[in-house]
Amino acid sequence: MDEYARQLQTLYASQWLSHAQEVMSQPLKATGPRTQRFLRVVASLSRTMDKYSASAGRERALDAIDLGAIYAGVDARESSNNDNKLGYTDLVVLELLDYFKNHFFTWVNKPPCPQCHGEGDNMVATGGRPFPANAPNPDEIGAIETYKCQHCQIDVEFPRIRNPISLLKTRRGRCGEWVDCFVLILVALLDDPSKVRYVWNQEDHVWCEYYSDHLRRWVHLDPCEAAWDQPSLYWQNWGKAMSYVLGFGTDYCIDLSPKYIDATKQIPQKEIVDSPKEVSDGIKYFAKYKLIDAYSMSGKPQTAINFYYDYLVPYNRELRSVAQAAAGAASAPSASTAPPSASAGSAPAGRQSGSAEWTRARGESGPQ
């Protein structure tokens, strides 16, 4: 490496670290109640990837899935990948998507009655309640939905489980449960939590992404739909109105709204928060915190040049990618790399997971 270039990189990283530490020494500015609520959510989500990183959970995930079936499918995909547009890891992820949706996890519109086993019109929602605050909660249940079977006149509960290890056993739920369980398995298969990030949409949906070394970019994944590399799926195919989409990795968080939302159809962020500027600053604040925390916990020598290459270069590269999307200058590599079934434009209109009534109520049944 040219010594002068190394000196500049070291200086830049040192200044970045110094500025970040100065910023984090000040209280985070959030002057309105909606902005404060939003940033509390961001703060909580910034730690999301922690629960998928523990080795014990990853081992449980590998024990729970049929690795033989998955890798047999990968071998079949590899034999037809003649142009080498996809790398081996990409084929593994594609096969996992298919396996997870069609053989491992089950969608729940309404819980089945344990007596008559009906799960349609016989099950009438009667409300819900939070999980008791002082009770042991190993499954990390957030809320409990309640239903009554009109045939048997018995009450049925549907706990919303948030512990991904528990979901390896129950294997059912809606988008939150699907993504929680899928991300744990994906991290286990890739054996690298830093190659996966959790993606959250303000308008009540979640999905994830993985970093493809072969494609050299982050790739969209939605296990509920078995969707691969379809970032326009939500606004274009579902007709979903959205305001914010944020990504949370092990090392940083980032605003991915330009990647997933058409600017002409975006809900004005001013309708969601009091100050979009304070929200933008808050996201950068948590990104700085995570970058520095990951650096300090990495076990590598604490040098500015290591921080530059291991953390700042990937982070800045991703910021540039999102900025290009915001400017309308992003390329569309998915058109040439996605398998035929992965085109948002050619897929059936509207969300495929969930009942028709549910998707209509959420504004996800297709463009209006």
205 is catalytic: yes
- Output the pLDDT for position 344: 54
Q: Catalytic site residue 19?
A: no
289: number of Cβ within 10 Å: 19
Domains of the chain: 1-105+171-330+355-362 (3.10.620.30), 107-163 (2.20.25.10)
The DSSP symbol for 157 reads E
Reported confidence tier of residue 345, pLDDT bands at 50, 70, 90: low
Q: Is the pLDDT of residue 211 over 90?
A: yes
Element (H, E) at 308: none
Q: What is the pTM of this model?
A: 0.92
Q: Are 200 and 193 in contact (CB under 8 A)?
A: no
Percent of the chain with pLDDT over 90: 82
**Is residue 113 annotated as part of the catalytic site, yes or no?**
no
The predicted structure's pLDDT at residue 333: 43
Side-chain-side CA neighbours of 154 within 13 Å: the count stands at: 12
| Beta strands 106-107 and 172-173, pairing class | parallel
What is the reported pLDDT for 332?
A: 46
Per-residue confidence (pLDDT) for residue 170, from 0 to 100: 98
Count of beta carbons in the 10 Å neighbourhood of residue 111? 17
For range 88-116, the mean pLDDT: 97
Residue 81 binned pLDDT confidence (cut-offs 50, 70, 90): confident
Q: Which of 180, 222, 229, 251 is catalytic?
A: 222
Cα separation of 153 and 157, whole Å?
Answer: 13
In terms of average pLDDT, the best of 28-32, 84-88, 219-223, 304-308 is 219-223
Determine the pLDDT at residue 300: 79
Using the predicted structure, report yes or no on whether residue 143 has a pLDDT greater than 70: yes
Contact 140, 162 (CB under 8 A): yes
Which regions of 168-321 does DSSP assign to beta strands (E)? 172-173, 196-201, 205-212, 217-222, 227-228, 245-248, 253-255
361 contact partners, CB below 8 Å, separation of at least 6: none
Convert the pLDDT of each residue in 279-333 to its tens digit: 999 999 999 999 999 988 888 788 899 999 999 999 999 999 898 877 763 444 4
What's the pLDDT band for 1 if we cut at 50, 70, 90? Answer: low
Please say if the pLDDT value at position 26 is more than 50.
yes
Q: Is the pLDDT of residue 236 over 80?
A: yes
Q: Is the pLDDT of residue 340 over 60?
A: no
The dihedral built from the CA positions of residue 53, 56, 61 and 62, taken in this order, carries a sign that is positive
Tokens 């398995």 -> residue: 185
Residue 171: how many CB atoms within 10 A of its CB?
14
| β-sheet bridge partners, residue 247 | 199, 254
State the average pLDDT for the chain: 92
As a whole number of angstroms, the longest Cα–Cα distance in the chain is 78
pLDDT over 80 (residue 339): no
pLDDT of residue 360: 93
- Collect contacts of 42-46 with beta carbons under 8 A, ≥24 apart: 42/246, 42/253, 42/279, 42/282, 42/283, 42/286, 43/286, 45/198, 45/200, 45/246, 45/248, 45/253, 46/248, 46/253, 46/286, 46/289, 46/290
Answer whether residue 358 shows pLDDT above 80: yes
Contacts of 342 (CB under 8 A, 6+ apart): 227, 228, 229, 230, 334
Neighbours of 39 (CB within 10 A): 21
Separation between Cα atoms, residue 229 and residue 342, nearest integer Å: 7
The angle subtended at Cα 186 by Cα 73 and Cα 39, nearest 5°, is 150
**Under 8 Å CB-to-CB from 249, ≥6 apart: which residues?**
49, 194, 196, 197, 198, 290
Distance CA 223, CA 101 (A): 6
When pLDDT is averaged across residues 118-122 and rounded to a whole number, the result is: 90
Backbone angles phi, psi at 362, to 5 degrees: -90, 0
Instruction: Give SS3 for 134.
Output: coil
Give the three-class secondary structure for 355.
coil
